[in-house]
Structure 1
Amino acid sequence: MSNPLATGSLSGTRALVTGSSRGVGADTARFLAEAGARVVINYRNKEKRAQQLVSKIEEAGGSALAIRADLTDPASVASMIETVTTEFGELDLLVLNASGGMETGMAENYALLLNRDAQVDVLRQALPLMAPGSRVVFVTSHQAHFIRTTETMPEYLPVALSKRAGEDALRDLVPELDEKGVAFVVVSGDMIEGTITATLLERSNPGAISSRRESAGKLYNVAEFAAEVALAAVEEIPSDHTRLVGDVSDFHAEV
């Protein structure tokens, strides 16, 4: 897919994209870098993929840096932010893309730790680097954003509840962000074809993704949704706004 951002439109911008060694995060980082941003590729354990992405960005004339950080470990996040400070000085864009909760072998409260607590911690630790005019973009799903009014698949429920809790906790910080002149935007999409989450859902509930595709008429693929996330970094969107990507006819807003 072609880059939705104009070449050079983000020249001078410094961006951190969490969970960006693969999937939506990787394509978002690539789009930002191709538009001129200097990008931090954050990963937890996919170092090879992260470094390969850095190489691709640099080969295309962009600038990127891979930094390992387990977002559920505040000390690990602090180390990442220290490196960002040394390398970039400041941050203009923070894309909170990392999420999870369906992986096997994790602690029982892992979804909440990653999707709520870690999101708030990353933002709080990054905020001192963000000047007026900076932007935070939180990436979520319709299944999480509308979980209070629309049921989701049982297999996805812990993720949906924890991501909605994360969104709420981040929105609680909006007054503080407003005081600093930092905008906050939520990008919510339907199930995304080709993501780890979609793969795990299909594995635990065969037919789940095809059923959702049939109901929605279309599901975005990784690159298509990443393009929407990248656009949220540059579009003139009011702070505390939610950008809904894809069909929402099956989802009911809170009243």
Structure 2
Amino acid sequence: MARILVTGGTGHLGRLVVPRLVRTGADVRVVSRSPHAEGDGARYVVADWATGEGLAQAVGDAEVVVHLAGDQLHNEPMATALVRAVRDAGAEPHLVNISVVGAEKVPVRSGFDRRALGYMESKLAQERVLEESGIPWSNLRASQFHELVLIAARALAKLPVVPTPSGWRAQPIAADEVAARLVELALGDPQGRVPDVAGPEVLTFRGMVRDYLDAVGSRRPTMPVRVPGAASRAYAAGGNLAPDRAVGKQTWGEFLAEHVEHR
């Protein structure tokens, strides 16, 4: 029985990965910032990313660590804390990391770039921490999740006129399809950087928002907005796309039909 620790296991992607791992028969533990009710087949261990308290114990005898924790501000420091915990524990697990397609192709050259699109830069920094750690690892880059595009579309749709970044494109993929690939990696040997996974179609962000508005029966107009900066230009140029890795099955339209109730 594989002993697998999941960081970020209570987040959006983690909630899809953890039950998949449990169904394989693995001994699954999840890092949590506070005590968590168990009952999903996983065990929860408390650790503090800021101080590192409990992380080495959490890593413990784990054979695999699926690292999903992080955000735009904390991807690099959390990866650093994880590597330190692994070393403190004297362990050498297989680290399975989730990253983002085009992490090295979206430059951040200003404070505005960093505020608006700094996630790409932070994921690249996270990758480098893990790659340079000397710990066996696998790194999967995925394109934008359907679910995250939906969150953005819902937020924008509250405005009388819906602004959409001019020229931006995306290749959205179902988060559950990414979760399935992460589980495959967790049950296999370390592979370094593996082929990216991306959705089955390249769409404009404006078109996706319009699809959402149509799905909910909204007639609110969209308005293209030019977003300044090198990072935005990279998005418009397709730096966040992987058309040769269109391995996802669910389309944006299918996702909307499944998750959005027409009013």
CA shift at 1:207, angstroms?
7.1
Q: Which is helix-richer, 1 or 2?
A: 1
1:122-133 mapped onto 2 (5 Å cutoff): 122-127=82-87, 128-131=89-92
Alpha-carbon deviation of 1:84?
5.2
Identity over the aligned pairs, expressed in percent? 16
Distance 2:4 2:141 in 1: 20
Are positions 1:95 and 2:66 aligned together?
Answer: yes
Q: So what's the TM-score if we normalise by structure 1?
A: 0.63
Which whole-Å CA distance do the structure 2 matches of 1:82 and 1:191 have between them? 33
- The residue that corresponds to 2:26 in the other structure is 37
Provide the C-alpha distance between the structure 2 equivalents of 1:207 and 1:129, rounded to a whole number of angstroms: 51
The one-letter amino acid paired with 2:185 is A
1:67 alignment counterpart: 45
Is the partner of 2:146 in helix, strand or coil?
Answer: coil
**Gaps (5+ residues) in structure 1?**
1-11, 58-63, 102-110, 178-182
5+ residue gaps, structure 2: 203-237, 242-263
Determine helix, strand or coil for the equivalent of 1:144.
coil
Mapping for residues 103-142 of structure 1, pairs under 5 Å? 111=73, 114-127=74-87, 128-131=89-92, 134-142=93-101
Quote the RMSD (CA, aligned, Å).
3.5
Query: Which residue of the partner structure matches residue 79 of structure 1?
Result: 54
Aligned equivalent of 1:221:
174
Spell out, residue by residue over 1:174-197, the C-alpha distance to the aligned partner (whole angstroms, 9 max, x if none): xx32xxxxx2111111111224x8
Q: TM-score, normalised by structure 2?
A: 0.62
Query: Larger Rg: 1 or 2?
Result: 2
> Secondary structure of the residue that 1:169 maps to in structure 2?
helix
Q: 1:203 to 1:31 in 2, by over 3 A?
A: same
- 2:106 corresponds in structure 1 to 147
* SS class of match (2:44): strand
CA gap 1:26/1:140 in 2 versus in 1, 3 angstroms: same
In 2, distance between residues paired with 1:94 and 1:23? 17
Q: How many residues align?
A: 196
Give the whole-Å Cα distance in 1 for the aligned partners of 2:19 and 2:58: 20
String of CA shifts for 1:97-153, please: whole Å, max 9, x gaps. Answer: 11213xxxxxxxxx0xx210221211221243534xx4111111115353349xxx8
Q: Deviations over 1:222-246 (max 9, x none)?
A: 22211111111124553x2233111
Question: Which residue of structure 2 lines up, in the alignment, with residue 16 of structure 1?
Answer: 5
Q: Which residue of 2 aligns with 1:251?
A: 239
> Distance between the aligned counterparts of 1:94 and 1:116, measured in 2?
16
Q: C-alpha separation between the residues in 2 aligned to 1:94 and 1:198?
A: 29
Name the SS of the counterpart of 1:67 in structure 2: strand
Separation (CA, whole Å) in 2 of partners of 1:229 and 1:148: 27
